[in-house]
Structure 1
Amino acid sequence: MPLPTADTPFATSLALSGPLRQPRQMLADQTYDGHKSIHDDATAGDLGLRAGPIEGPTHFSQFDPLLARLFGRAWFETGCISAHYQTMVVEGESVRAFVDLPAPGAAFVRIRAEKADGTPVLTGTASVGEPGQPHELEQRMAKLRPATGLVINRDLQVGQRGAVPETIRMGFDQHMGDHYPFTLRDKLAAITEPCDWYTPEGGARSPWGRPIIPMEMISVLLGSTIADARLGGRKPAVGLFAGQQIRLIRGPLFVDQDYALEREIVALSESARTESTWVRTRVYEPAGRMLVAEMILNGAVMKASYPHYEREARELGLA
């Protein structure tokens, strides 16, 4: 809570908010490991959900205008957004983004998103430059207890690195694989917050003279080749994003540019219903190996989706 100052006697927290938006579901046809994902209505129904949820980072776009208003060009160059996903959103539901106003001179803020009825969608933090304090996912990682009852992820280890070098790029009409069955051009036709700098024509008018990749599509860029890293658990199992942090270090990331990735498991955790990996992905420009961005993804797999869970848990003495 802010303290009263010479300029105002009030200690009331204030926030910027955006309009209610209805984000589009674009992953209904997503597949991996030979099966549909949780974003498919039938698969979601089998797991007790009313419909396939919209992917969490889709909501990041609603924060971009608010954070750009607060931090200007720096948001696109050194911005960081870190979110714990709280409640699933299905197509047709409305969502509003909120950003707490920072103290004078501060560059670290709390963020949240809510449905129209006030149901929390996500909670988190955002910043520009060097954060100076841990972000939402880093705070949660620091509180994790050692995972001692893993079944699906029992073959994985903290410190384990991606199996192969990965080089990626995103063009406007490039298919990003089975994980993401749409193109950047498709997304730009449906994105909740259109921006001139994302487009082929408007990109030339951006401060960098090139079209930039939206923050939510950085998740797609980095996730499109994740299967190659072989950092997942036993299969078949259905997963979802439980939390995510994307930080630009020397941004923005550009359309039609190659990037090299390095991945590492930085934590393993479990809950009553899920087992989770926490994977840090570092993004480099291939020439000179300059670090330009990084992502931490808390990917959770649902125990109920793994057909051998109960039997293997008994065999391991965990049930």
Structure 2
Amino acid sequence: MSTAFPQMPAATLCGPLRQPRQMLAEQTYDGHLSIHDDKMAEDLGLRAGPIEGPTHFSQFDPLLFQLFGQAWFETGCISAHYQNMVVEGEEVRAYVTPPAAGERVARIHAEKRDGTPVLTGTASVGDVPDTDHEIPRRIAKLRPATTLVINRDLRVGQRGAAKETIAMGFDQHMGDHYPFTLAAKLKVITEPSPWYTPEGGAASPWGRAIIPIEMISVLLGSTSHLSGLRGRGPAVGLFAGQQIRLVRGPLFVGQAYDLEREVVALSESARTESIWVRTQVFEAGTRTLAAEMILNGATLKNSYARYDAEARELGFTQ
């Protein structure tokens, strides 16, 4: 049996500086380019198109595998609030603080070379209450959203409109939302593992190639447009926070999964409106829960052309 990553000294709970790659420059939705396009990002006041948040999850995998072992890929949970955007060429380092005595949840964070925070959150394995993790804790603290414009047609508890069955092959194009393949990602992933590959997957503990945890976000996001759980548009959004939890993992390359989605929260800030969606992943044709994701998708108010006019119509501004 092979090992997932090279062994690091036992006391090491920070990884090397890495330069994650931008894979979404050609991403499109609502008929336009996304925030990951440099020109679109600049038009919205950003200096360049940011790298997608879950890309950074790969930098935690060697640390969490060392901390938790094989269970990390079977029942691991990573829960992160994204703090500052990263653009291609910037260097990022991941840190893990192991659970204190008597506790089961590790703290995680990532920062740029200059110390700028990138994300903060939690990680664990096994049957740990969801409420011990970063994203559910943030949801619990949300104030009721009372002046929604973009997301005013959505409701907490609303479920996806369509049945979604998905799979991810090595050379499978994942659609307009994710215009690249798993094979392309594996050429640039910050932390390569033989367990992710066609050649090395057979020597994994499960005898098959597994989907990297960061690519679970791609797998689940590739058909999200079918759910109908979207606000008004066209508008531009970004990931503000995300949790991926494996229940009966890992997820496998080429295996089919059924998805069910539900809105678990709606929120707003001065600049954004957010929808928080829980996506459950079942082994296709069964009710066997394999994984789930909670995603905070934040839409920039100033990217929706009719925001001010509709806010006035709804009586939210004078």
TM-score w.r.t. the length of structure 2 is: 0.95
Aligned to 1:113: 110
* Residues 235-262 of structure 1, C-alpha deviations (whole Å, 9 max, x = no match): 1100000000000000000000000000
One-letter amino acid of the structure 1 residue matched with residue 118 of structure 2: V
Aligned to 2:173: 175
Residue pair 1:15, 1:100 contacting (<8 A) in 2 also: no
What secondary structure does 2:203 align onto?
Answer: coil
* Residues 149-170 of structure 1, C-alpha deviations (whole Å, 9 max, x = no match): 0000000000110010000000
One-letter amino acid of the structure 2 residue matched with residue 18 of structure 1: G
**5 Å matches for 1:206-225?**
206-225=204-223
What secondary structure does 1:138 align onto?
Answer: helix
Residue 103 of structure 1 deviates from its aligned partner by 2.8
Residue pair 1:15, 1:98 contacting (<8 A) in 2 also: no
RMSD: 1.0
Which of 277, 285, 288 is residue 290 of structure 1 equivalent to?
Answer: 288
Which of 43, 47, 55 is residue 44 of structure 2 equivalent to?
Answer: 47
One-letter amino acid of the structure 2 residue matched with residue 285 of structure 1: E
Residue pair 2:169, 2:254 contacting (<8 A) in 1 also: yes
Residue pair 1:280, 1:295 contacting (<8 A) in 2 also: yes
Aligned to 1:131: 128
Residue 71 (structure 2) pairs with residue 74 (structure 1) = yes
Aligned to 1:57: 54
Structure 1's unaligned 5+ residue stretches are 1-13
Residue 104 of structure 1 deviates from its aligned partner by 4.6
Aligned to 2:185: 187
Structure 2's unaligned 5+ residue stretches are 1-10
- Alpha-carbon distance in structure 2 between the residues aligned to 1:15 and 1:107: 19
Residue 286 of structure 1 deviates from its aligned partner by 1.8
One-letter amino acid of the structure 1 residue matched with residue 79 of structure 2: S
Aligned to 1:21: 18
- Alpha-carbon distance in structure 2 between the residues aligned to 1:34 and 1:287: 33
Aligned residues: 306
Which of 203, 206, 229 is residue 205 of structure 1 equivalent to?
Answer: 203
* Residues 39-61 of structure 1, C-alpha deviations (whole Å, 9 max, x = no match): 00000001000000000000000
One-letter amino acid of the structure 2 residue matched with residue 64 of structure 1: D
Residue 131 of structure 1 deviates from its aligned partner by 1.4
- Alpha-carbon distance in structure 2 between the residues aligned to 1:309 and 1:80: 36
- Alpha-carbon distance in structure 2 between the residues aligned to 1:293 and 1:36: 30
- Alpha-carbon distance in structure 1 between the residues aligned to 2:37 and 2:200: 34
Residue pair 1:168, 1:221 contacting (<8 A) in 2 also: yes
Aligned to 1:6: none
- Alpha-carbon distance in structure 2 between the residues aligned to 1:306 and 1:164: 26
One-letter amino acid of the structure 2 residue matched with residue 238 of structure 1: V
Aligned to 1:305: 303
Residue pair 1:15, 1:99 contacting (<8 A) in 2 also: no
One-letter amino acid of the structure 2 residue matched with residue 253 of structure 1: L
Larger mean Cα displacement after TM superposition, 124-133 or 111-120: 124-133
Aligned to 1:102: 99
Percentage identity across paired residues of the two chains:
75
Residue 289 of structure 1 deviates from its aligned partner by 1.6
